Amino acid sequence: MSRKAKRSGEFELIAKYFAPLAKSEPGALGLKDDAACLKPRPGHDLVLTADAIVAGVHFLPGDPPDMVAKKALRVNLSDLAAKGAVPRGYLLTLTLPCDVDEAWVAAFAKGLKADQAIFGITLLGGDTTTTPGVMTANITAVGEVPHGKMLMRRGAQAGDDAWVTGTIGDAVLGLKVLKGDGLDLSKTHRQSLIARYRVPEPRSAIGPRLVGLAHACIDISDGLIADLGHICEVSKVGIEIAVRDVPLSPAVAAAVERGFDIGELLSGGDDYELAFAAPASARRPLLALAAETGVALTRIGRVVKGRSVSALAARGKPIRTARAGYTHF
Ligand SMILES: [Mg+2]
């Protein structure tokens, strides 16, 4: 039986910790109404996405609350980035087990506040409830994209280049380190991997800039191979990637040197980088964008005729990946 922690009632929690997060959007009505009212800027479409994170599935129950808040928000920001959308607002439904105390809620709200300032997004509404089960943070995020320009999984064409942002495989190794799966790595490397697992870096600065350059885009939440596979499926193309061109952080490169299976890295989830297809004519502006933003953009392969992803090792031989990607159920 879990102990019941001391905390204020639902309305007090909202007034104390969440209403201050909604101040900058008049349409949120101070979280005092049943709904928010939102109008897109002229010439823009609203882009909507929802993602829940669940204790024991997407984060570990002992993870710091501010980091849980950031992860909940950032996985949604990553989906907005993949659609080329600029973040606008979000709704939060938080289910709290009885043994979670008010200090946890305060630290969770503090994490949201910090990220709202970084990403220019504001709370619009939501719900807080007690659960006999595990903690979940369910966020619905709203972004804006110029009318008719939302990036989709659909649209990749044979002849396009396949690109990724940042580095691949950090989060899957971070989870391994947290779970005590002894990887023989330095403390600095272990810490950087854990940080990537706990607090992903959504590519909000890049996504909206891909509008007009990328033909198709997705964020990597199920693993590079699986998510490229989603583009293949909907765009009706194949994608060939060269394993040696997949960008790895120093920590992941060290793990691979020590024999960690690269197939597992390519099929691990949770990187929250963007993978996209763009024509050769976009190479120059994309490299300029990387230089301007300081976010690495790496060409890892090409779009071909076909329906599936192949990961080619050094001599062009396909390598076996551990699984098709991470599925949560
Ligand atoms: Mg996604």
Q: What is the DSSP string of 217-267?
A: EEE-SS-HHHHHHHHHHHHT-EEEEEGGGS---HHHHHHHHTT--HHHHHH
Q: Quote the ligand 1 centre to 112 CA distance (angstroms).
A: 20
Q: Which position has the token pair 């479409």?
A: 45
CB 153 within 8 A of CB 277: no
Question: What torsion do the CA atoms of 321, 203, 155, 267 make, to the nearest 10 degrees?
Answer: 10
Half-sphere exposure in the Cβ direction for 219 (13 Å, CA): 26
Amino acid at 173: L
Name the strand (E) or helix (H) holding 109: helix 102-119
pLDDT tens digit sequence for 116-136: 999 999 999 999 999 999 999
Average pLDDT, the chain: 92
pLDDT tens digit sequence for 294-327: 999 999 999 999 999 999 886 666 666 654 444 3
Q: pLDDT band for position 207 (50/70/90)?
A: very high
Q: Quote the ligand 1 centre to 233 CA distance (angstroms).
A: 15
Indicate whether 178 belongs to any domain: yes
Nearest-angstrom CA–CA distance, 40 and 160:
32
Domain CATH number, residue 248: 3.90.650.10
Q: Quote the ligand 1 centre to 138 CA distance (angstroms).
A: 15
Query: Are 168 and 306 found together in one domain?
Result: yes
pLDDT beyond 80 at 213: yes
Q: Quote the ligand 1 centre to 13 CA distance (angstroms).
A: 30
pLDDT beyond 60 at 170: yes
Q: Which position has the token pair 């997004």?
A: 121
Nearest-angstrom CA–CA distance, 182 and 189:
13
**What is the tally of structural domains in the chain?**
2
Query: Are 43 and 170 found together in one domain?
Result: no
Domain endpoint, select from 113, 146, 179:
146
Q: What pTM does this model have?
A: 0.93
Q: pLDDT band for position 3 (50/70/90)?
A: low
190: containing domain:
161-312
pLDDT tens digit sequence for 44-74: 999 999 999 999 988 888 889 999 999 999 9
Ion ligand 1 contact residues with beta carbon within 5 A: 79, 219, 221
Query: Are 86 and 193 found together in one domain?
Result: no
* Number of helical H runs and strand E runs in the chain: 9, 10
pLDDT tens digit sequence for 219-243: 999 999 999 999 999 999 999 999 9
Q: What are phi and psi of 312, to 5 degrees?
A: -100, 130
Q: pLDDT band for position 246 (50/70/90)?
A: very high
Token readout for 159 is 């002849």
Query: Are 191 and 75 found together in one domain?
Result: no
pLDDT beyond 50 at 285: yes
Nearest-angstrom CA–CA distance, 227 and 241:
13
Question: Can you give the pLDDT at residue 208?
Answer: 98
Using CB atoms within 10 Å of the CB of residue 88, give its burial: 0 to 12 exposed, 13 to 18 middle, 19+ buried.
buried
